[in-house]
A and B are shown apart, each in its own frame.
Chain A
Amino acid sequence: QVQLVQPGAEVKKPGASVKVSCKTSGYTFTTYAIQWVRQAPGQRLEWMGWINAGNGNTRYSQNFQGRVIITRDTSASTAYMELSGLRSEDTAVYYCARGSISNWPFDFWGQGTLVIVSS
């Protein structure tokens, strides 16, 4: 069965970077995109970007341009999202999800990684 597994939590100081992993299984990693979405406390889900796991192409939300980098390791069927310049407003649950780069929903999601930014 399709699974996306994320670490449970990370605690970072303001100004630091965080790199969240998303290990996939149960399907051919390179035939889908991996999307990244976050949800801050009391806020709606916010799309951050995607990576085409086949060719490595990426697209990012304007809201995170310059601060987020999404990569993948095809040998490990794993995608990564790195967010730099952390501030307290980046405290959120970060989700990865399987999707497409075109008009298609996110059909499988990870359980999310809570990132806490605190001094």
Chain B
Amino acid sequence: EIVMTQSPATLSVSPGERVTLSCRASQSVSSNLAWYQHKPGQAPRLLIHGASARDPGIPARFSGSGSGADFTFTISSLQSEDFAVYFCQQYNNWPVTFGQGTRLEIK
């Protein structure tokens, strides 16, 4: 199965800062890569699919890029409601697999 590796595990940031997260696949997943936001006690929320397409209603400050095995997720200016765990998912091959997540903490 494809192993997804995210970095960093935790990031301490201040509101207004630009944040860039990384997700690497153990083999190519083409552009079949999604990013999700997960807050405690809530349902995960799909932000990006197809590596770079924002889901409807997702603010423009969230963006994704990459293809093949290396992907990047960016929040251009961090808002207070953005502090959460972000995880990537490849859906190119079964079983679908997930990264271990990156936790954004308030600095």
Contact = CB atoms under 8 A, between A and B. Distances in A.
Contacts, number: 49
Given A59-B94, A105-B34, A111-B41, A44 B87 contact: yes
A41 to B, nearest CB: 13
A105 B96 CA distance: 9
A106 B43 contact: no
Interface stretch (B12-20, B68-76, B97-105): B97-105
Interface string B18-53: 000000000000001010000001111110010000
B91 A108 contact: no
Contact of B55 (A35, A44, A59, A107): A107
A110 interface: yes
A44 B3 CA distance: 11
A111 B41 CA distance: 7
A8 to B, nearest CB: 10
Contacts of B92: 103
A37 B100 CA distance: 14
Interface in A19-65: 35, 37, 44-47, 59, 61-62
A93 B9 CA distance: 20
Contact of A109 (B44, B55, B97, B98): B44
Contacts of B43: 4, 95, 108-112
> Quick one: which of B32, B92, B98 has the most chain A CB within 10 A?
B98
Contact of B44 (A46, A61, A62, A95): A95
Chain B binding site: helix, strand, loop or mixed by DSSP?
loop
Contact of A103 (B87, B91, B99): B91
Contacts of A61: 95
Given A103-B32, A106-B89, A47 B42 contact: no
21 contacts: A4-B43, A35-B96, A44-B98, A44-B100, A47-B95, A47-B97, A47-B98, A59-B94, A62-B95, A95-B43, A97-B44, A103-B91, A103-B92, A105-B34, A105-B49, A105-B91, A106-B44, A107-B49, A109-B43, A109-B45, A111-B42
